[in-house]
Structure 1
C-alpha cells in the first residue's frame, strides 16, 4: 500500500505544511539566528517553502467550507514562514539598516 502523502500528484495539506515548517527550521539553523550570518544556502529553504506553499494552495476548494477556511489559515502561516526565511536571507546583506551613527 503506497502512502498518498508521498505522491506529489495527490493534494496533501500535511505535506505542504511539513515542508514549510521543516524549511523554516533549517533556515533558523543555517542563519545562526541571533548572529545572522550571511549565507546563500538559505535560498534552498526558501525554494522549499515556496514549493510547500504551492502544495498548500492546491488544496483550496471552489466553495467555502470550514476546510477551506483552515486551508486559508495554513496559507497565511506559510506566507509568514516564507517572509521569515526571506528576512534571514536578505537581512545580513542590508548593512545600512543596522548601522548606527
Structure 2
C-alpha cells in the first residue's frame, strides 16, 4: 500500500502544510525561544519550510475558485511561518538590537 501524499510527483496541500508546521515547531524548540540561542541547526527547518512553501505553491490553479483562495491563504500562512523561522535564525546574531545601555 502506497501513501499518495508522500509521492513528491503529485501535488499535495497536506504535505506542504505539514512540512511547514513541523519545521516551525522544530525551529521553536531549537531556538530555545525566550533565550534565543544562536545555532546553525535552524538552517534545516528554514530550508524545509521553504520547500514546503514551494510544494504549496505547486497546488495553485490558473483559474479563480474557492480552492485557489484556500491555497492562497495557505501560502500566506507558510510565508508567515518562514518569516518566524528566519527571525529565530537571524535574531541572535543581531547584536545591535540587543545592546544593553
- TM-score range (shorter-chain normalised) is over 0.9
Q: CA RMSD in A?
A: 0.6
* Residue 98 of structure 1, CA deviation: 1.1
Distance 1:96 1:22 in 2: 31
Unaligned runs of 5+ in 1: none
Could you say which residue in structure 1 is the equivalent of 2:89? 89
Could you say which residue in structure 2 is the equivalent of 1:99? 99
Distance 1:100 1:44 in 2: 31
Instruction: Please give the per-residue CA displacement for 1:51-93, whole angstroms capped at 9, x wherever unaligned.
Output: 0000000000000000000000000000000000000000000
Could you say which residue in structure 1 is the equivalent of 2:68? 68
Could you say which residue in structure 1 is the equivalent of 2:50? 50
Distance 2:91 2:64 in 1: 38
* Residue 100 of structure 1, CA deviation: 2.8
* Residue 28 of structure 1, CA deviation: 0.4
- SS of structure 2 residue aligned to 1:98: coil
- SS of structure 1 residue aligned to 2:9: coil
Instruction: Please give the per-residue CA displacement for 1:16-45, whole angstroms capped at 9, x wherever unaligned.
Output: 000000000000000000000000000000
Unaligned runs of 5+ in 2: none
Runs of 4+ in structure 1 deviating by more than 4 angstroms, as ranges, are: none
Distance 1:2 1:90 in 2: 39
